[in-house]
Structure 1
Amino acid sequence: MAEAKGEYTLGTPQEHVSMCEKHHLMPIEMICEDCEKVICSKCVKKDHKDHNWNTIITAATLKARGLMKSMKKIEEEDIKQIDERIKMAAQMIEANNKRNEIEIAKIQRHYDTMVGILNNSKEKLEESLRRNLDAKNAGVREIQSNLEEKKKNIIKRVECIKKNSSTMHDEVLLKSHRELTKLIASVNHIPGLKRFQGEYDSGNIDEEVLKSMMGRTRFSLFDFFQKLLS
């Protein structure tokens, strides 16, 4: 304990007293409420004589009393208001999420409608090509059938002539050859084969037009949040 007392020159710890920089050796013991400065007694008489001032001890006592009243108000009123705003913020987040889901659903319905229209248009275009194809192929199949029938008749006559040429009368042989020649020549009178001429001309894909068709989003939450946080 003796060692502990030896730590202090006067035997007990002394508080450090601030000194006025303007008035030599004058302790700071006053506070000017108007200037919010700590001053000495000479400063009060000269530079702050018309101001509201008090001793530091008195000002501290008054501040302490006011602080306790403020603490009570903060606990009973301000914190409750903050809690209410926190609750409002949580409710707003939930409401915003629900509203956002509704708007996203609207976008999806609009998109589905657009896709449905596009699918319907696509099906009509495909059906148009198929009808044209069926018409073309029907004509080609008819030509194919005629050619196959003539081929059979030609082969049949050729085989007949080859088989009976040695026993045929000259007049009959000439007649058979003439008919075979006409039959072969008739092949050239069959209408020519026509290729499928259907063609799809794609429309212009304009990104801006598509974006315009999809619509746009609008936001007007600024005023609400300003009111909420005010």
Structure 2
Amino acid sequence: MAEIEKYSAQQALNMCSDHEQEEIDMYCNTCSKPVCTKCVKGDHKDHDWDTMFKIAKALRRQTCQRKLEIRSVSKSVLMGVEDVIKSLTSDAESELALNSSELESTRNKIVEFVYKSFDEMESKCKTNYKFKMQHLQKCEEKMKSKRSRINFLIQNMEIGARDFSDSDLLELHDEIRGLLKEVQELAVIPKGLHNRMFYRTGSSDKTSLESLVGSMEVHDVSEAILENEFKIGDTTINSILPLSENEAWVHSTQTTTNKLVDKSGHIKRSVELECRVFNFAMSDDGIVYFCNPDTNHIQQVDRQGNIKSLFSTSPMIPLYIALTRSGDLLITLVDEDTHDRNDSSHRLVRRSAMTGETIMEFEFDKGGKNPLFSRPVSLLEHFNGNICVVNLYRDDAGVTKGNVHGLDCGGRVIFKYEGMDGDFNPLDVCCDREGNTFVTDSRNKRVHMIDLYGRFVRYLLSDESFTEKIYSIAIFGKTLWIGSRNVGVIKVFKF
């Protein structure tokens, strides 16, 4: 084993580069650097500093505890990196298997002359897989190298801590801290690995056999660019339902009227709903569905603006609604519209037929004991049948926070996303055709982008995109609509 490099006492007594004839005998914890006596009276006077002797003495007393702390932190961080690598590896393998399966399924429907195209796309898929594996392998190699160095330094700390000079000990301390920071940075998913390759299927029409081949593409979510912003009243825009990239129905709090606006802010039509509404869902034939929490009814509006009640949810209060691919309704229901719950509370998501017949309810985890929701609000169904539900609650200090639950079609919890910094205030959710989910974080004025497995990908917009709190979000094609809280502002972004 190589011995750790030591400095002689003479080498440790370096002279200050800023003050001639002054020895470096102090250490600034704020700047993490050795300084001289004059330095601490000047530029470092308001910093956390002390003599090298005292800091080194304290470190020596804490060597045993520091050793345990370093081991604990390094173990935790390294395990986190390993989990990221395992997760991304599994994801890449599943991605490869899914794409290969869809390629084979489509290949059986077409004639022999298109086989070459499938082979080329499969090669592209495997190249993408190889690319990801190479990056993950490099990340794993770096992790092993850092782990080896950390273990080496810990061993030297155990063996020779009392023999180190002050400068040696501080240098060792700084190197360990730097290594731990580098290990933490390894946990960040490398740029490009969150891009998802997917097979875009073609038509099964025999008159367009060439289109059946489809294409293998890497989905890269580009930055959203602000296209326009405008105001609709002075209250919260609590729901946006796009009809196209140019038009959307919007609804504000403290009003019972729906407004159809274009992305320039011109109001083209209004429909009176005669009740407060949290959100809407629309079928392919233009029928709009919404919850009436005042009467506990599910209602619809046809193209002419005629309102019809479909069924009652009493005694449960309906809050938010979404449509499934099969034409059923997903409804969030509460027995009491609060963020707090007790042992007798009922807060759930119900899958209903248009007749009101209950198909399935999601209230507890698979064990049947732990409730999933405190106040379930916005929800959606992904292309694969999985469901995303925004859930709100109050913490011990009375602050409203939230999380996003991912459930499969049977109600099994796939993930629970709780934000990135412990202060997550989600209110609305939407998704694109590739399964990326966008969640508004109202208090922090951010849009979180997560993947199908609930893993954070990135923040969609820059910190400067919103000066006001955000509330609602909707996407149509390459156009993103975002509604503000309390001020009536709507911003339209283009991908």
Q: Say whether the fold is shared (TM-score over 0.5).
A: no
Structure showing the higher strand proportion among its residues: 2
Q: TM-score of the superposition, structure 2-length normalised? A: 0.21
Higher RCO structure, 1 or 2 (CA under 8 Å, sep 6+) = 1
Q: TM-score of the superposition, structure 1-length normalised? A: 0.39
